[in-house]
Amino acid sequence: MKMEKTSLTTPGTGSSSYLKALTVEIEKKLQRALASASQRPNLLQELFADIALEVDDRARGIIFSREEDEISPAEDAADGQLCFYDVLADYYVWVPESGKQILHLIVQLWSQSFASHIFSLLFHKWLFEAQLDNTEVLVRFSSALVQGATNVLWIDIQTNKRHFQSLFQYLLEEVALEPMRLNRIPVQAQRELFLLLSRFILFYNSVDKIDSFLKQFPIFPNAFLVGGPADFFVIELADQLQKLKVEPVLLHYLSQIKVLQGGIIHLFSKNSVLH
């Protein structure tokens, strides 16, 4: 069952109340998933679809309504595509206690399909703003973020859409290119994140960020065998190209590769995937 239609479109007293109501809906669905093993896969898939929905005009009007001392999240996306996960991800940063029960429930469903998808959409910003002193928890959450983001961004590849572009842009521009945030997660998670972004950076039309991206690349233990950041980047990109089955997506990647200039482009010419 999807979130109640009325909860997504019926005007309320303001965005804070509205976001609290959405949070309650998410908690209920997670509790139902936890209680029913037979329905669990479908419920989690439905919840993922719910939070990935684009915000309609009426809901947008509520979210961006202005009242005294009221939170109005994701304001920079007000004029572009805005999905419920965009709004909720901001909300759980500004009011972190609101997401605690959802986190608790997701942890109990950790091994289930779509649990990491949901975590990455709802808490990709919170993870880099929260103060997590427990190293084991930080490692678990960081790993789930990378796993979930990988799965979510691959959906865009398969559908040739950029529905989750805001997730990618945040991880690239606000984490990978911002050392203060990047260093909040363990070094291994940093490495996994950079490899992930290497595979999708051309798809999301971020060629202009590659130079800065490579300069921030973390050090890998096997770098003496593989080479520098550009070598790791090319290896991941080549692997991605081999996996692409959607022709327009492959053509887009190849067109973006042609845009690359300077010290990077010659590395591609050596790779057999492009011959």
Please tell me the predicted confidence (pLDDT) of residue 260.
73
237 within 8 A of 202, measured Cβ to Cβ: yes
Helix, strand, coil abundance in the chain, percent, nearest 5: 70, 0, 30
pLDDT-above-90 percentage for the chain: 69
Residue 158 φ then ψ, to 5° = -65, -30
- For 161-205, write each residue's pLDDT tens digit: 999 999 999 999 999 999 999 999 999 999 999 999 999 999 999
pLDDT band for 97, please (50, 70, 90 cuts): very high
11 within 8 A of 61, measured Cβ to Cβ: yes
What is the CA 212 to chain-centroid distance, rounded? Answer: 20
What is the CA 165 to chain-centroid distance, rounded? Answer: 8
Q: Which of 196, 98, 96, 72 is nearest to 145 (CA)?
A: 196
256 within 8 A of 207, measured Cβ to Cβ: yes
Residue with token string 């202009």: 208
Please tell me the predicted confidence (pLDDT) of residue 176.
97
Task: Output 45 or 258, whichever has higher pLDDT.
Answer: 45
CA quadruple 234, 148, 204, 223: dihedral, nearest 10: -20
Over range 226-250, report the average pLDDT. 92
Report the C-alpha gap between 151 and 160 in whole angstroms. 14
Q: Which of 79, 150, 92, 80 is nearest to 122 (CA)?
A: 92
- Can you read off the two tokens belonging to residue 198? 């290497």
Say which range, 85-99, 138-152, 212-226, has the weakest mean pLDDT: 212-226
- For 61-78, write each residue's pLDDT tens digit: 887 775 544 444 554 444
- For 16-48, write each residue's pLDDT tens digit: 888 999 999 999 999 999 999 999 999 999 999
Count CB neighbours of 154 within 10 A: 15
Looking at the chain, which runs of residues are DSSP E strands? none
| Residue 270 pLDDT > 50 | no
Over range 229-242, report the average pLDDT. 93
Burial state string for 225-253 with b = 16 or more CB within 10 A and e = fewer than 16 = eeeebbebbbbbbbebbeebeeeebeebb
Please tell me the predicted confidence (pLDDT) of residue 80.
65
Report the C-alpha gap between 225 and 15 in whole angstroms. 53
Mean of all residue pLDDT scores within the chain: 85
Kind and range of the H or E element at 115?
helix 115-123
Over range 228-241, report the average pLDDT. 92
- Can you read off the two tokens belonging to residue 122? 């709802």
What is the greatest pairwise CA distance in the chain? 61
Please tell me the predicted confidence (pLDDT) of residue 46.
97
| Residue 1 pLDDT > 60 | no
- Can you read off the two tokens belonging to residue 208? 């202009």
| Residue 9 pLDDT > 60 | no
